Amino acid sequence: MTSASTGRVAVAEAPAKAIITGEHFVVHGSTALAAAIDRHVRVEVREAPSRGISVRSDRVSASHPASLLPVKKVVGSLCSAYSIEPSHELNISSTIPRGSGLGSSASTMVAAAAAMAKLHAVRLGLPELVRFAMEGERLVHGNPSGIDANACAYGGLILFRVGDAPRRVDLESPRRLLTVYSGVQRSTRMMISKVSSSRERHPRLFARMVDSVSQMSAGAAESLVRGDMHALGKLLTLNQGLLASVGASNPLLDDLVETLLSFGCLGAKLTGAGGGGSVVAVTPEGKGKSIISQLSERGFEGFETVLPLRGVESWLE
């Protein structure tokens, strides 16, 4: 068993995530489909010479230390659960834009828990890893569904419903998914509240939407398994219409979706909380690079992920 007293550094990397179908509605009981995508958070952790948890991040200035409290919560909870002295230094680096709807906070919490477990030779299964990550996620988002932390931990593709274990969706061959950052940050907590108010105004209609979204997610998973990207694209665009109807979209995201469709994408929708953040799209085979180039000319950052992508990984250095 390797311990922190060796002075070694434990490292963990967790991917970003994109919700392919079902965001917002998943909070209210629908099934959602999510994928790990090709952006990552890296957390390095070592034992500190004195008691306390010190966290540094390339995304957080020294003048905003409170934003790192969720990470400290994750580390502190793990230390308490396994009788570990809370004397650690963490260094966080990320390639995920903050406020992009791509799971930056969840990826950070998952990687922090995984690095701590690796440093102290604590064997954590993925469900336990997610449980510790959610300690920090709740500080960030209030009452999140848990889909982000599960997607970042498990990797690949998962069908997720609150209260159930995530179900892996296995692909026989690779699929491609385009992600585009709108350049506008958003607040998940605020957007969840906005959509929930729509539910309060139209409870019966919203309940039907929840059922419909579950069917969309099942259909999207089946389309990916079959490699029917045209069918997947239609489901994404349909899901965008529902999200717009409950207030999750805005003119910027609507225009970005329309732009992607005009470039030849087979379908597109916002991903994550909405109100900004990012859009996911299905590109025709071989057209991804061309579409990314066209987006760049308009000031948008886009990248493709080859699905499936691995989940969190950890090691000692």
pLDDT tens digits for range 264-282: 999 999 998 777 789 999 9
pTM over 0.85: yes
Residues 24 and 41 in one domain: yes
Verify that 117 and 232 share a domain, yes or no.
Answer: no
Query: So what's the pLDDT on residue 141?
Result: 86
The CATH number assigned to the domain holding 225 equals 3.30.70.890
Same structural domain, 123 and 244 = no
| pLDDT for res 246 | 86
- Same domain flag for 162 and 32: yes
* Residue-number span of the structural domain to which 8 is assigned: 4-170+310-316
Query: What CATH number is attached to the domain comprising 116?
Result: 3.30.230.10
Split into its structural domains, the chain has a count of 2
CA atoms of 68 and 48, how far apart (whole Å): 17
Q: Is residue 165 located within the same domain as residue 285?
A: no
Same domain, 96 and 181: no
Residues 166 and 199 reside in one and the same domain: no
What CA–CA distances, in Å, run from 134 to 125, 145, 266? 14, 10, 34
pLDDT in tens, 115-152: 999 999 999 999 999 999 999 999 998 888 999 999 99
What are the helix (H) ranges across 60-202? 69-81, 104-119, 126-141, 147-154, 188-201
Examine the domain organization and report whether 202 and 133 are in the same domain: no
30 exposure class (CB count in 10 Å sphere: 0-12, 13-18, 19+): buried
Closest-CA residue to 13 (of 88, 132, 93, 69): 93
Give the span between the Cα atoms of 176 and 162, in whole angstroms. Answer: 27
Instruction: Specify whether 116 is located in the same domain as 182.
Output: no
Active site residues: 148
Q: Kindly tell me if the per-residue pLDDT of 38 is higher than 60.
A: yes
Q: Is 35:151 a contact under the CB 8 Å cutoff?
A: yes
Amino acid letter for position 191: M
Does pLDDT of 290 surpass 80? yes
**Amino acid, res. 40:** H
Instruction: For residues 163 and 221, state if they share a domain.
Output: no
Same domain, 14 and 68: yes
Same domain, 202 and 88: no
Average pLDDT over residues 235-247: 92
Report the share of the chain in percent with pLDDT over 70.
93
Give the pLDDT of residue 175: 97
**Token pair listed for 45:** 């952790």
Q: Could you tell me which of 198, 276, 281, 283 has the C-alpha nearest to residue 242?
A: 198
